[in-house]
Amino acid sequence: MSRERPLISLADLPPPPSYAAAHDEEEEKDAPPKRWYHYLPLLVVVAVMVAPHPSLLIVLVNYHLRLLQAPGWFAVHLVVTYSITFLMFSSLIVILARDPGPVGSKTISEEEEDGDMDITQALLAEDEEDAMSPGKWCRKCWAPKPPRTHHCSVCGKCILKMDHHCAWLGNVCLGHRTYTSFLHLLSCIVGLSAYIAVINVRAVYFAFTNPLVIDETTPVHSMMLSFAGIVMMMVIGPFLLYHCYLVTTNQTTLESLSPFLLLRQLPPLPDHPGDGRKLSNPPLEHELSYNQRRLVRDAHGHIRQYDIGWRGNWSQIVGWDKPWGWVSRILVGGGGKGDGRIFPRNPRADELLARLASDLVDVDKDR
C-alpha cells in the first residue's frame, strides 16, 4: 500500500533568507537611488543664482559706466558682485562633492594612535551593553553611532552631527563636514542680494528724479533687480538668522525641532515602589503620558547639552587649527572643527538631565 504524499512538505518551502540578505533588502528600501528629478530643485537654485547677472551687467554698463562716467565704482561693483558669486558657487560645490560626515572615517591622529586596529577589535574594545543602547548603535547601518549622529532614511547612512537633509541642494545631507559651507552659502546669498538691492535702488531713484537723461530699459532692469534682491533677503535672511541662532546655542536643526531626542541622553530613571506605570530605560516617546510629554517639551527649551558659550560654540563651526585655516573658511566655508565624534558638553547638562529623569517619574505618581 503506497503512502500518500502530504499536501505541504518542508522540502517544498523556500529556504529562509539569511540575515545579511534581509538587511541588504532593508537598506535598499531605506535608500532609494537618486533619480534625475531629484536634481531639479538644485537646477532651480543655480538658475536663481545666475539669473540676475545679465540685468546687473546692463545696469552697471549703462548707468555707472556710460551715464555717471564712474569707472571706479563700475569696477568696484563688478569685483564685489562676482567675487561673492564665486564664493557662493565654491561653497555649493563643496556641499555637493564632500561627504557630509562619514561615520567610518578616521582622522590622521586617530589612525596613528590605533595603528592596525580593525573594526572587530574596535567593537570588542567597547562595552557591548553600552554600545547596543538606544542612540549609540544604528540598527540599520549595524554600526556604532557617535553622539549627535543620526541615520538619514533618504541617504541610507549615518551622518556625523547631522543637521538636516536638504532636497534643494542636490538631495544631500548637511553634517559635520558640510554645515560650515552651508552657512557660507547662505551668507553669500544674503550678502549678494543686499548688495544688488542697494546699488539698484539708488539707480531706480536716479531714474525717477532724472527721467530725461537715462534710457528706457535700464530702470526696468534696476527695478527687477531691486525687487529680486529684497525678496531674497526676506526669504533667505530669516533662514540664515535661524541657523546663526543654532550655532550660538550649539544645536542642530534636528536637535532644535526634536525635543524627544533628550530621552536618549537621560540617566537611568529612579525607581518608585508602587508605581504601576513603568518606563523603559531610556524611556521611549510613545510610552510617555501627556504630562510627561509636556514636561520634556518644556525642558527642551533650557537643556542644551553642548552649549559651552557663544564664543566656544562659534569656534566649533568656523574655527580652525591649522595655520592659514581662515583662507578655506573665507573661500569655501570648510568643515567643522574637530572629528565630529566628540563634543564638549555643557557642565550643567548632566544635572538638568537627572532632574528631568526624576520629574518624569514623579509627574504621574499621584494619578
Of residues 267 and 191, more confidence is placed in 191
For the record, the C-alpha cell of 35 comes out as: 533619480
> For residue 277, what pLDDT band results from cuts at 50, 70 and 90?
low
Predicted confidence at residue 1, as pLDDT, reads 46
Apex CA 251: angle with CA 248 and CA 253, to 5°?
120
> For residue 274, what pLDDT band results from cuts at 50, 70 and 90?
low
Quick check: 133 pLDDT over 90? Answer: no
Beta bridge partners of 159: 102, 150
Of residues 28 and 148, more confidence is placed in 148
Condensed to tens digits (0 to 9), the pLDDT of residues 36-81 reads: 888 899 999 999 999 999 999 999 999 988 898 889 999 999 999 9
For the record, the C-alpha cell of 348 comes out as: 550643567
For the record, the C-alpha cell of 354 comes out as: 537627572
Q: Are 340 and 181 in contact (CB under 8 A)?
A: no
Give the list of residues 6+ apart from residue 325 with CB closer than 8 angstroms, or none: 319, 334
Condensed to tens digits (0 to 9), the pLDDT of residues 316-364 reads: 999 888 888 888 888 888 888 888 899 999 999 999 999 998 888 888 7
> How many other CB atoms are found less than 10 A from the CB of residue 335?
22
**254-271 per-residue burial string, b: 16 or more CB within 10 A, e: under 16:** bbbeebebbbebbeebee
pTM recorded for the entire structure: 0.81
Of residues 150 and 25, more confidence is placed in 150
The bridge status of strand 157-159 relative to strand 150-152 is antiparallel
Say how far apart CA 23 and CA 14 lie, in whole Å: 18
Burial class (CB in 10 A: 0-12, 13-18, 19+), 276: exposed
Tell me the mean pLDDT in the region 168-175. Answer: 92
Q: What is the mean pLDDT of the chain?
A: 82
Residue 180: which of 319, 311, 82, 308 has the closest Cα?
Answer: 319
Residue 26: which of 173, 153, 167, 166 has the closest Cα?
Answer: 153
The 8-class DSSP code of residue 341 comes to S
Of residues 138 and 246, more confidence is placed in 246
Least confident of 244-248, 279-283, 349-353: 279-283
| Dihedral sign for Cα atoms in the order 257, 259, 264, 267 | positive
| Domain edges within the chain | 37-104+131-235, 257-363
Q: Is 24 left (phi over 0), alpha (psi -120 to 50) or beta?
A: alpha
Give the list of residues 6+ apart from residue 332 with CB closer than 8 angstroms, or none: 87, 90, 91, 93, 94, 181, 184
Q: Are 341 and 160 in contact (CB under 8 A)?
A: yes
Burial class (CB in 10 A: 0-12, 13-18, 19+), 208: exposed
Say how far apart CA 272 and CA 167 lie, in whole Å: 47
Amino acid at the residue 292: Q
